[in-house]
Structure 1
């Protein structure tokens, strides 16, 4: 686009900023409640709401309390929730068998939400890290995170979630070939309508720390995830990964983290035009909360400004722990 306008003073670009009504008329992007996916953490037990210390305002909830959170989401108009399981070290094993247990916390939460709110879009997380004694997204053999054996496990995990009633499968593991394998398995087992939102461009980021606390992975993780998550220095690689996942059957794609990677969001949307999402991850959330608690920023204004940034960068929606607070503001 090449802007064309008369020279000053015939053109005064401040004219359209003069009043709230004029600003509204020329506003280029809009944030709506329907753009938000609310990530929540489920744990064992009953009647439990346990604060996550590194994520002010975020809770680990038992399944019954997850359903209460769904009641809140529905009342606010939030149409999608994403379920992440918290697992203690005693629940983790080297074979990661809990990942595809039909009665694990995540699958019970999926089923419970769908039973109460059939029209709520429930998203799952597909990776082995919350069930793995090593804290990695894949099986570890001789210090190496192996790909193909992990993909076989991810397929079993996805099918268990589909049987529980999940609407959106969210593979976050970054193994090669997992989208095609999961899509084929879903088709072959009668789950052809289950949607895949691929974490296609997931970076090996330092912004994930509070999340790992929330799911119990911080103490379990040995080493790092740089052999399968992306190098933060790379941009073209993200486009190759998105192209691959779309070609293998992903319906939607995600960039993670969010704000530090808005350039990637823009490139992905411009290159492919596919439904594109970003994850405003735990570190982004906690930094805003911490600065606000210290009186350094206006939390509500920064929250809304940060969410609008995703829309401006081309995202169709965003996973954010701010979803309920943002929805309340958007609803007036």
Structure 2
């Protein structure tokens, strides 16, 4: 019988050592950005019910939390503030003593090497839960830009290393870049939520950030999940306006978009592994339906393979522990 001619791909899968030798994509602790929800008050560590393992943390316990991250090798965080006071224009977002501004100062004083990324939006700070100023039931794009720029400058003044605007207003990168430059923060980079879909995966986050809209939804400013070319248009605009990083949010259902944004921009791309993606895995793991470690590492590796340079993820502490073990 004539011998068959075919490729023997399995030669490179024969052992764990061989598979490690030829592995193309690697996940590192330095890839991880951990989200923190900071609240007013004292001695508060309150669990977010829909996000097992995630807590609201008061300022007096923040240094302790950061210490745990540093010991794991996690040196980047993104701060979300949950203020005690909300109003129609989200004034606590840009207050000198706002919750994110105070948290930033606490972190930078205790751990100057920690990269602090400030989420720059108004939704947590407005009494209506939308990401901007409301006029006759509609978010006023241009008036909102003024407040976003003001917020970004106040965060930079507090010591934030990176400004991360998540509001999806047209022109938000241009407005924030202009505001930062005029205030003397020309070297403060912008990590734009360049591609942010109006996704069903955000529910648990809105519990954590207390930012559920009080009327309507965010579909007039966040993107339609069905659209691909629109994502590239958004990324192109942000690149022209001066964005330094490009976030794709959510991550798992938009890996195709992530790859295209990476190829198109040639800039650092950040995957946001959002709350719904996190909570589904946690719930399944608690029921014994999946191997949590295996599925999380596979999920985050897929994001790196799709083009992500960095990953914002609530799994960060667990992943850092697992990577240290291995």
TM-score class, shorter-chain normalisation, is: over 0.9
Q: Distance in 1 between matches of 2:99 and 2:5?
A: 64
CA RMSD of aligned residues (A): 1.2
Kindly state the Cα deviation for residue 72 of structure 1 after the two structures are TM-superposed.
1.0
In the alignment, does 2:39 pair up with 1:43? yes
Kindly state the Cα deviation for residue 87 of structure 1 after the two structures are TM-superposed.
3.3
From 13, 21, 24, the equivalent of 1:28 is: 24
Q: Which string of whole-angstrom CA distances, capped at 9 and with x for unpartnered residues, describes residues 22-77 of structure 1? A: 10111110000000000010000111101000000100000122221111111111
Which 5+ residue runs of structure 2 have no aligned equivalent? Answer: none
TM-score, normalised with respect to structure 1 = 0.95
Q: Distance in 1 between matches of 2:98 and 2:131?
A: 17
Kindly state the Cα deviation for residue 119 of structure 1 after the two structures are TM-superposed.
1.1
Which 5+ residue runs of structure 1 have no aligned equivalent? Answer: 1-6
The residue aligned with 1:138 is 132
From 53, 68, 71, the equivalent of 1:72 is: 68
The residue aligned with 1:318 is 311
Give the secondary-structure state (helix, strand or coil) at the position aligned to 2:120: coil
Aligned residues: 323
From 144, 149, 153, the equivalent of 1:159 is: 153
Q: Is the 8 A contact 1:196 1:252 kept in 2?
A: yes
The residue aligned with 2:102 is 108
From 217, 226, 239, the equivalent of 1:233 is: 226
Q: Distance in 2 between matches of 1:125 and 1:287?
A: 24
Kindly state the Cα deviation for residue 104 of structure 1 after the two structures are TM-superposed.
1.3
In the alignment, does 2:244 pair up with 1:265? no
Q: Which string of whole-angstrom CA distances, capped at 9 and with x for unpartnered residues, describes residues 62-96 of structure 1? A: 012222111111111111000001235xx110121
The residue aligned with 2:123 is 129
Q: Is the 8 A contact 1:87 1:215 kept in 2?
A: no
Kindly state the Cα deviation for residue 8 of structure 1 after the two structures are TM-superposed.
5.6
Closer/same/farther in 2, CA of residues 44 and 240 from structure 1, 3 Å limit = same
Q: How does 1:186-265 map to 2 (within 5 A)?
A: 186-218=180-212, 220-265=213-258
Q: Is the 8 A contact 2:192 2:247 kept in 1?
A: yes
Q: Is the 8 A contact 1:67 1:109 kept in 2?
A: no
Q: Distance in 1 between matches of 2:151 and 2:303?
A: 30
Q: Distance in 1 between matches of 2:66 and 2:77?
A: 8
The residue aligned with 1:3 is none
Q: Distance in 2 between matches of 1:28 and 1:137?
A: 40
Q: Distance in 1 between matches of 2:264 and 2:222?
A: 21
Q: Which string of whole-angstrom CA distances, capped at 9 and with x for unpartnered residues, describes residues 231-255 of structure 1? A: 0000111011111101101111000
